Amino acid sequence: MIFAEEKGRTASEASAAAAPAPQASGVHEKRRSLKGKLSLIVALSIIPLVAMVLYLIISLVSYSNAYEEIVSNMTIANSYSLSFKEDMDESVYKLVVSGKSFDEVKDNPDENPYALIDDLRNDFTRLEVIKTDDKSRDWLSYLLRNIDTLEDRVDDIKANIDDGEGHYNENIDMVNNDIYILTELIQDNIQHYIYYQTESIEVLKDQLHQQVFIFIILFCIVLAALMAFLIPFVIRLIRNIMGPVSQVTTVTQKIAQGDFSASTKDIHNKDEIEVLADNVNTMAGSLDVMVKQIHDDETKMRHAELRLLQEQINPHFLYNTLDTIVWLIEGGKEEEAEDVVVSLSNFFRQVLSHGREYITISDETKHIRSYLEIQKVRYRDILNYEIDIDPELDNYEILKLSLQPIVENSLYHGIKYKRGVGTVKVTGRKDGERIVLKVSDDGVGMKNDELIRLREEIGRPCKDTETGFGLANVNERIRMNFGSEYGMTIDSVENEGTEVTLVIPAIPYSKDDKDGEGGQDEKEKQNI
């Protein structure tokens, strides 16, 4: 009934602590307020800068494309400026001098004047379509008209050649007076086009410099405006955030040190920080109540543990020991009976240990030695034992009743079922910052499936175990008091024996600290 009432009271307090939950919707709304402030700062900082960077990138791409276009135009023009006149003059002159017909060279682009003219017209007609400056366009027009005139003169020479002999001098005159002059004019037109394209590059460069200069000016103006607006806004926002956060930090530090009366005051940010401060105040009040409740629960648990410890003393062991004492006395073995009584007295003295939970390894060794001495009287024909615990460990602490349940398990489940004499061996060594204690026997051991099942059992809380309660109790207490990296491991081979290993931290025993606990426990035990 007591535990049921405690459980009910704890549940009611938990539900009371959870009472502020209906404010969740308000919390969500306020969080957006703080998020909105931060988002506004980011937007005001980034959007203008991103816009200017995009403007600069677009301008640079545009100027880069224009520059590449002009360079491409100049490359085409230069290719004809270097070779067209010579190729054209040579092809027409060879046709006139050699007397070949145009049909004979029409498949050879290097010797066919019409092929050279068509290539030139096609390339420069395409250049005329491309957007360019007016002067370059004018020279392209002159160039195309001269190409048409050149083609007419070539037609005249072709007509004379096709007409037969008698036109040689006339053709030579047309070559000297028409063809050479027209190709000279065409080359001059190309040179003028290239010149004005070069001027376009200079204009483009000046425009680019101007745009960059304007961009720098605008960037500085926008940056100055942003700084003038954002710096005061950011400073105010930081103060509104960091002031309450510092206050909440101070309060939580006091709460961590056990001062549950600490609370935040005058925080009215209307955002998540205000909600956090209110929740910290609520948490501090709840923790104060919970700590008191936990202290009361721990006191009751220690009472229950003490009762459980007393109940764990096997009454059969006590009855059998008393029977053994009677049997020894009746057999006239008073000295042996006296030794058993002394061992039994020592055994119960160590079990009680003035109510202390921690004892020295030396006391735990005395406890298991008393237990084994008593059992050896009963099982003298089958039991031998060895205790080899390094004396260096005597003044290190250990949880009371850590080894006795393991020794008892070795005797009743290992040695007792063996045919012949068996030995229980207890060893202990210090390994760095750990103490390793081992209880081994050369009894019947376990099958592999039994070993697996026992390992699973000792890994559970002892209230959930079906077998191996004593071992699970030891393992759980060690892990609960020292941490999950410590505890018990079991190894066993069928018909060879079992070895149980305990690993605990190497902590020197402090009598003053333990006496405080022991004194309190002794009072509690007397009250019981």
Same domain as 209, residue 62: yes
Compare 478 and 46 and report the one with higher pLDDT: 478
Q: What is the pLDDT of residues 273-307, one digit of tens each?
A: 777 777 877 887 787 788 778 877 765 665 455 44
Cα distances (angstroms) measured from residue 264 to each of 28, 34, 272, 274, 280: 21, 19, 14, 10, 8
Please identify, among 227, 245, 263, the residue that sits at the C-terminal boundary of a domain.
Answer: 227
Whether 152 is covered by a domain: the verdict is yes
* 283 class by beta-carbon count within 10 Å (0-12 exposed, 13-18 middle, 19+ buried): middle
Domain residue limits at 448: 313-527
Cα torsion angle, 127, 129, 134, 140, sign: positive
User: Which residues fall within 8 angstroms of residue 4, CB to CB, at 6 or more apart?
Assistant: none
Domain boundary among 159, 194, 227: 227
The reply to whether 300 falls in a domain is no
- pLDDT at position 308 over 90: no
**Going along 300-400, which residue ranges are E strands?**
358-360, 383-389, 397-399
pLDDT value, residue 449: 92
* Strand residues in 418-514 grouped as ranges (E): 422-431, 434-441, 487-493, 497-505
For the stretch 381-403, pLDDT in tens is: 889 999 999 999 999 999 888 89
Summarize pLDDT for 225-250 with one digit per residue, the tens.
Answer: 878 877 787 777 777 777 777 778 88
Does residue 239 belong to any structural domain of this protein?
A: no
- The whole-number average pLDDT for the span 128-152 is 80
pTM (2 d.p.)? 0.44
pLDDT at residue 199, as a whole number? 78
Place of tokens 């006395």: 329
Strand ranges, E, within 280-352: none
Residue 63, Cβ neighbours under 10 Å: how many? 16
Do 82 and 201 fall within a single domain?
yes
**CATH number for 487:** 3.30.565.10
Q: How does residue 18 score in pLDDT terms, banded at 50, 70 and 90? A: very low
Return the minimum-mean-pLDDT range out of 88-102, 110-124, 312-326, 448-462.
312-326
Say yes or no: 122 and 219 in one domain: yes
Q: In this structure, are residues 117 and 147 in contact, taking their beta carbons and an 8 Å threshold?
A: yes
pLDDT confidence tier of residue 316, bands split at 50, 70 and 90: low
The answer to whether position 234 is within a domain reads: no
Shared domain for 222 and 327, answered yes or no, is: no
Answer yes or no: do 205 and 345 share one domain.
no
- In this structure, the strands spanning 422-431 and 383-389 are parallel
Of 227, 250, 271, the last residue of a domain is: 227
Together in a domain, 319 and 454: yes
Task: Determine the pLDDT at residue 490.
Answer: 95
pLDDT number for residue 387: 95
Least confident among 12-26, 111-125, 353-367, 472-486: 12-26
Distance CA 199, CA 263 (A): 77
Q: Are residues 37 and 172 in the same domain?
A: yes
Of the pLDDT bands very low, low, confident and very high (cuts 50, 70, 90), residue 191 is: confident
pLDDT band at 515 (very low <50, low <70, confident <90, very high): very low
Residue 328, CA atoms < 13 Å, CB-side half-sphere: 18
333 and 218 in a common domain: no
Residues 357 and 210 in one domain: no
497 φ/ψ sector (left φ>0, alpha ψ -120 to 50, else beta) = left
Counting the structural domains of the chain, the total is 2
Q: Does residue 317 share a domain with residue 201?
A: no
Evaluate if residue 513 carries a pLDDT over 60. Answer: no
- Give dist(CA 430, CA 437) in Å, integer: 9
Tens digit of each residue's pLDDT (9 = 90 or more) over 169-189 = 888 888 888 888 888 888 888
Do 417 and 378 contact (CB within 8 A), yes or no? no
| 334-352 vs 361-378: helix crossing angle, rounded to 10 | 140
- Count CB atoms within 10 A of the CB of residue 41: 14
Would residue 3 count as lying in a domain?
Answer: no
Residue 320 shares a structural domain with residue 171:
no
**257 located within any domain:** no
CA 15 to chain centre: 35
Q: How confident is the model at residue 19 (pLDDT cuts 50, 70, 90)?
A: very low
Model pLDDT, residue 205? 78
CA distance 493 to 448: 8
- Between 161 and 504, whose confidence is greater? 504
pLDDT of residue 26: 42
Determine the pLDDT at residue 86.
82
pLDDT at 451: 92
Task: Specify the range with the lowest mean pLDDT, choosing from 28-42, 97-111, 126-140, 347-361.
Answer: 28-42
Name which of 404, 380, 378, 366 is nearest 322 in CA terms. Answer: 378
Residue 301 lies in a domain: no
- The rounded percent of the chain whose pLDDT value lies above 70 is 78
Domain-located, residue 74? yes
Alpha carbons 399 and 472: distance in angstroms, whole number:
14
d(CA 269, CA 175): 96
Both 367 and 461 in one domain: the answer is: yes
Alpha-carbon distance values, 110 to 89, 114, 182, 190 (Å)? 11, 10, 19, 20
